[in-house]
Amino acid sequence: MDLSPLYISIKTASLATAITFFLGLYAARFVNRQQRWQGIIDGVLTLPLVLPPTVVGFFLLLVLGRNSLAGKLLEKIDINLVFSWEATVIAASVVAFPLMYRASCGAFEQVDEDYIYAARTLGMSEEQIFWRITIPLSWPGIAAGTILSFARALGEFGATIMLAGNIPGKTQTMSTAIYSAVQAGDDDTAFLWAFVIILLSLVIMISLNYWSNRQRNLGEWR
């Protein structure tokens, strides 16, 4: 039994979540501060959430593929992203990003502005305020966004198969493994991976609920 799809999926989803975590937080901070164009930037950043993943995959191919400017530059330093493991991370990150970004935006808006103002008059720098005031105070929302992003990255299929392909042992994740198994008529393998994904997702969602209830009920300072 080849367990590589499990490892690859977990590795991909973990790294993609880490990347998405920081990108989402900073994007939310940036958009929150914008006076003009806020609606447009917000729309563009949320787009991967509503577009079919194949569209995302198609655009990623156009941007990172061999014929693109970025692809040519990367080829000069001997990097080819398409059909590599890194591509699964890129695809999963792009698709999971809007969840993290939107959750962070919502969480930041919940923070009472007086805390931020007080921190400023006390002389804390904007960077200090962001990490020591804003993020701790909006932590429940951010944690929820992180968990949702991980779940989304774990289940990513469309963009991954277009950008990274479905190479066993290299880019084959659990979702793409199910696709191959069904096409080959191997129902047992398909069942196995489907079961693993359902189990993992369920654990994630239950822990999310537990986490948010705990925050609400006995959070140490709320």
Partner 1 sequence: MALSVDIIMKRQKFCLAVKFEAKEEIMGVLGASGCGKSMTLKCIAGIEKPDSGKIILNGRTLFDAAKKINLPPQERSVGYLFQNYALFPHMTVEENILAGIRQKDKQAQLARYSKIFYLTGLEKRYPKELSGGQQQRVALARIFASEPEIMMLDEPFSALDSYLKWQVELELADILKEYQNTVLFVSHNRDEVYRFCDRVAVISQGNLECVSTKEAVFHNPETLAAAKLTGCKNHSRIERLSNDTVEAIDWGLTLRVTNSISQDVSYIGIRAHDLKLANDETVENTFEFEIVQCIEDTFSFILMVKHQKATLGNNALLRVEVSKEIWRQVSCDRQRIYLTLPEEKLFLLKA
Binding residues for partner 1, per CB under 8 A?
A: 112, 114-115, 117-125, 132-133, 136-137, 220-222
* Contact between 88 and 164 (Cβ < 8 Å): yes
From the CB of 18, what's the least distance to partner 1, in Å? 23
Please, which residue, 38 or 128, has the CB nearer to partner 1? 128
Please, which residue, 66 or 132, has the CB nearer to partner 1? 132
Please, which residue, 123 or 185, has the CB nearer to partner 1? 123
From the CB of 37, what's the least distance to partner 1, in Å? 20
From the CB of 218, what's the least distance to partner 1, in Å? 13
* Contact between 17 and 96 (Cβ < 8 Å): yes
Supply 60's token pair: 């990623």
From the CB of 107, what's the least distance to partner 1, in Å? 14
Please, which residue, 120 or 216, has the CB nearer to partner 1? 120
d(CA 178, CA 190): 5
d(CA 129, CA 106): 18
d(CA 164, CA 171): 6
CA 191 from centre of chain: 26
